[in-house]
Amino acid sequence: MSDSPDICWFRRDLRVADQPALIGSDGSPTLSVFVVDRRPLASAGPRRRALLARHLRALDDELRSLGGELVVLEGDPVEVIPQLARDVGSRTVRWNADVSGYAQRRDSAVAAALEGSGVGSEVHWGTLVHAPGTVVARSTGRVQRVFTPFSRAWSSTERAPWPDGPPRPVRIGSVRGGDPTRLLGVDPDDPKMVGIPGGEIAAEDRLRTWVQHVDGYPDRRDIPADDEGTSHLSSDLRFGTLSPRHVVDVVGTGTEGRAAFVRQLAWRDWYAHLLAEQPELAHSAMKPAMDRVVWRDDPEGLEAWCVGQTGYPIVDAGMRQLARTGWMHNRVRMITASFLVKDLLVDWRLGEAHFRRELLDAEVSQNAGNWQWVAGTGPDAAPYFRIFNPIAQGRRFDPDGEYVRRWVPELAGIDGRRVHAPWELGPLDLAAAGVTLGEDYPWPIVDHAAARERTLAAYAAAAATGDAAGGR
Ligand SMILES: Cc1cc2nc3c(=O)[nH]c(=O)nc-3n(C[C@H](O)[C@H](O)[C@H](O)COP(=O)(O)OP(=O)(O)OC[C@H]3O[C@@H](n4cnc5c(N)ncnc54)[C@H](O)[C@@H]3O)c2cc1C
C-alpha cells in the first residue's frame, strides 16, 4: 500500500458499495473522479443527463461521508485522466470496463497514455455479473449466439472475486472539479425531468421495494398497466447505482418469480458480452444478409412514431410513456420497435437512436441487442416472418385498455379492449366517446395487413441474397 492516492475513474458504476474499482486490490487511499466526456453524452437526452447529475451529486455526498469527494472534470479522458494522475502522483488508476467500441478504444488509449507516464491501470467489471469472455461456448471459445445455452453457462459460472475491504476515499485540496449541473447543462432538481431520487441509497430502497413484488413477476411482467409488475431497476443498473451481483444476491433464485427475474440479468450480461466481442453489432446486423434489407425513407412515419401519433393506440401509448417519463415497459418496447421496423419498414438503427436519446436506461449493448432481436437481424432473434400485430398485442397484454387510456387521454372515453382499434367503432360509439378520428386522434398511418406483406417481401429479398438464417 502506498500513500500517494490511486484514482478511481467512475463511469457507469456510480456507487460506493460493492464497487471493485473504488476499493482496488491493495487498499490504497483513492481519489474519485468523473469525466464529463462530450462525445458519448451527445446521444443522451436531457432526462438522462439530469438523472446522471442527480446520481453524481449523491455519489459526492456518499464519498464525503467517508472522507472523500467526487471530482468532476470535463474533456477527453485520454488527456484528463493521465494529467490528473501526474498532478497527484498516482501509481494506479482503476475503473470498471465497458463494452461499446467507443469505450473499448477510449480505455485502451487511456491505459496506453498512463503507461507512457509510468502509471498502471487496474480494470474491473463491476457493471456486469460476469466479465465478458468468461461465459463462452467450449467448442468455439466465443459467446453463444443463442440465449438458452448462454444462460445455462452463465448460471453455473463461478464469480471471479472482486476486491473486498473498506473503501478509503480521499480529498485533495489542490484538485478542483467543476459543477456537474453546469457541465451537464441540466437542472437535476427539475421534477419534470426525472421522477426518482438519485444515488445508491435510493436505488437500494427501490430494490427492497421490488423484492416485495418479485414473486408475482412471471404473471405480471407482461402487463404494461401494472406498475409493480416489473422492477424498474434498469436505470440503476445502467448507471451502476446498483451492483448487478448485489441485485442477484438480494433477490436470489428461491422461487419461480425470483429465478425468472434473475434470468433477465443474464440477458443483460449476454448482450454486453456479445457487444464486447463484436462491437460492430451496435450498427451492423449480426445476420449479414439482413443489412441488405431495403428500408423505406419515411421521415413523416418516423416522426409520427416518435411523438406517438401513428393511430395504433398501443404504439402511441408506449411512445408517449417514453417521451413523458424516459422509461417504457418491455412488452411495449417490443411492440413499438416492431411497428417501426415491420409496419413502417424503417431501418432499426433510426429507432435505436431515438430510444438511446430518450431512455433513462439506454445503453448501446442492451438497446442495439434488443432492436436487432425485434428486427430479426440479431442473435437468437425471432424469425423475421413472425410479425407482431399491434392490435392483437394490445388486446392480449392490455386487455382492459387501461394502459392505452392512461397515455392516450384523447381515447379515454372508449371503454375496455375496444380502445385498441378505435376505427372499428361505429360513428355513434365514437361520438359518445367524444372522438373524431382524424381530428382528436389520427387514423392509422399504415394498414397493418398490407404493411406486413411489404415487409415480408423486403426481408425475403434480402434473405435471398445471402444466408439470412446463419449468424457469423
Ligand atoms: C427495443 C428495445 C430496446 C431496449 N433498450 C434497452 C436499453 O437501452 N437498456 C436496457 O437496460 N434495457 C433495454 N431493453 C430491455 C428491457 O426492455 C428493459 O431492460 C426493461 O424494460 C427495463 O425495465 P425493468 O427494469 O422494470 O425490467 P425487469 O423486467 O424488472 O428486468 C430486470 C432487469 O433485467 C434486465 N432486462 C430485462 N429485460 C431485458 C432484455 N430484454 N434485454 C436485456 N436486459 C433485460 C434489465 O437490466 C432490467 O432492469 C430494451 C428492450 C427492447 C425491446
Query: 164-168, 183-187, 240-244, 376-380: which range is least confident on average?
Result: 376-380
Answer yes or no: is pLDDT of 467 > 80: no
Return the pLDDT at 468: 42
From the CB of 275, is ligand 1 less than 6 Å away?
A: no
Closest residue to atom 32 of ligand 1, CA basis: 264
From the CB of 339, is ligand 1 less than 6 Å away?
A: no
Closest by Cα among 69, 55, 11 to 19:
11
**H helices present in 329-414, as ranges:** 330-338, 348-358, 364-375, 390-397, 402-407
b/e string for 320-331 if b means 16 or more Cβ within 10 A?
bbbbebbbbbeb
Among 234, 253, 356, residue to substitute to test ligand 1 (most atoms within 8 Å of Cβ): 234
Question: Which of 11-25, 66-80, 367-381 has the largest mean confidence?
Answer: 66-80
Provide the grid cell at 262: 434473475
Distance 272 CA to ligand 1 centre (A): 12
Answer yes or no: is pLDDT of 3 > 90: no
What topology is assigned to 6-126 in CATH? Answer: Rossmann fold (3.40.50)
Distance 106 CA to ligand 1 centre (A): 26
Return the pLDDT at 471: 39
Rounded distance between C-alpha atoms, residue 417 and residue 395, angstroms = 6
Closest residue to atom 46 of ligand 1, CA basis: 234
Return the pLDDT at 2: 57
- Catalogue the long-range contacts made by 408-415 (C-beta closer than 8 Å, 24 or more residues apart): 408/308, 408/313, 408/316, 408/317, 408/320, 408/441, 410/435, 410/440, 410/441, 411/313, 411/435, 411/441
pLDDT tens figures, 209-231: 999 999 999 999 999 999 999 99
Ligand 1 atom closest to residue 359's alpha carbon, by position in its atom list: 8
The domain spans of the chain are 6-126, 128-158+201-276, 288-464
Rounded distance between C-alpha atoms, residue 247 and residue 16, angstroms = 15
With bands split at pLDDT 50, 70 and 90, how would you rate the model's confidence at 4? confident
pLDDT tens figures, 115-124: 999 999 999 9
From the CB of 104, is ligand 1 less than 6 Å away?
A: no
Answer yes or no: is pLDDT of 303 > 50: yes
From the CB of 366, is ligand 1 less than 6 Å away?
A: yes
Count CB atoms within 10 A of the CB of residue 278. 16
Among 245, 330, 339, 360, residue to substitute to test ligand 1 (most atoms within 8 Å of Cβ): 330
From the CB of 361, is ligand 1 less than 6 Å away?
A: yes
Q: Which CATH class is domain 128-158+201-276?
A: mainly alpha
Answer yes or no: is pLDDT of 381 > 80: no
With bands split at pLDDT 50, 70 and 90, how would you rate the model's confidence at 191? confident
Return the pLDDT at 44: 95
Answer yes or no: is pLDDT of 17 > 70: yes
Which CATH superfamily hosts domain 288-464?
DNA Cyclobutane Dipyrimidine Photolyase, subunit A, domain 3 (1.10.579.10)
Answer yes or no: is pLDDT of 233 > 50: yes
CA pseudo-torsion sign 338, 340, 345, 347? negative
Rounded distance between C-alpha atoms, residue 107 and residue 101, angstroms = 10
Among 154, 319, 370, 397, residue to substitute to test ligand 1 (most atoms within 8 Å of Cβ): 370
From the CB of 144, is ligand 1 less than 6 Å away?
A: no
Rounded distance between C-alpha atoms, residue 125 and residue 20, angstroms = 8
Q: Taking residues 363-388, report their average pLDDT.
A: 90
Distance 116 CA to ligand 1 centre (A): 40
Place of cell 463484436: 278
Q: Taking residues 67-81, report their average pLDDT.
A: 97
From the CB of 25, is ligand 1 less than 6 Å away?
A: no
Q: Taking residues 5-13, report their average pLDDT.
A: 97
Answer yes or no: is pLDDT of 68 > 90: yes
Distance 234 CA to ligand 1 centre (A): 6
From the CB of 264, is ligand 1 less than 6 Å away?
A: yes
Q: Beta 30-36 vs 120-124: how paired, if at all?
A: unpaired
Q: For the chain, what percent of residues have pLDDT higher than 70?
A: 98
With bands split at pLDDT 50, 70 and 90, how would you rate the model's confidence at 26? confident
Distance 404 CA to ligand 1 centre (A): 21
Among 315, 366, 403, residue to substitute to test ligand 1 (most atoms within 8 Å of Cβ): 366
Instruction: Give yes or no for a contact between 132 and 103, defined as CB atoms under 8 angstroms apart.
Output: no
Ligand 1 atom closest to residue 234's alpha carbon, by position in its atom list: 49
Query: 114-123, 447-456, 461-470: which range is least confident on average?
Result: 461-470
Distance 356 CA to ligand 1 centre (A): 13
Return the pLDDT at 472: 32
**Torsion region of 200: left, alpha or beta (phi above 0 gives left; psi -120 to 50 gives alpha):** alpha
With bands split at pLDDT 50, 70 and 90, how would you rate the model's confidence at 466? low
**Torsion, Cα of 125, 127, 130, 133 (10° steps):** -60
Is 243 strand, coil or helix?
coil
From the CB of 363, is ligand 1 less than 6 Å away?
A: yes
Closest residue to atom 9 of ligand 1, CA basis: 362
Distance 66 CA to ligand 1 centre (A): 33
Distance 30 CA to ligand 1 centre (A): 33
Q: Taking residues 181-187, report their average pLDDT.
A: 92
Return the pLDDT at 27: 77
Closest residue to atom 24 of ligand 1, CA basis: 232
Return the pLDDT at 469: 45
Answer yes or no: is pLDDT of 98 > 50: yes
Return the pLDDT at 1: 52
pLDDT tens figures, 313-337: 999 999 999 999 999 999 999 999 9
Distance 366 CA to ligand 1 centre (A): 7
Q: What is the mean pLDDT of the chain?
A: 95
Distance 333 CA to ligand 1 centre (A): 9
Q: Beta 6-10 vs 92-96: how paired, if at all?
A: parallel
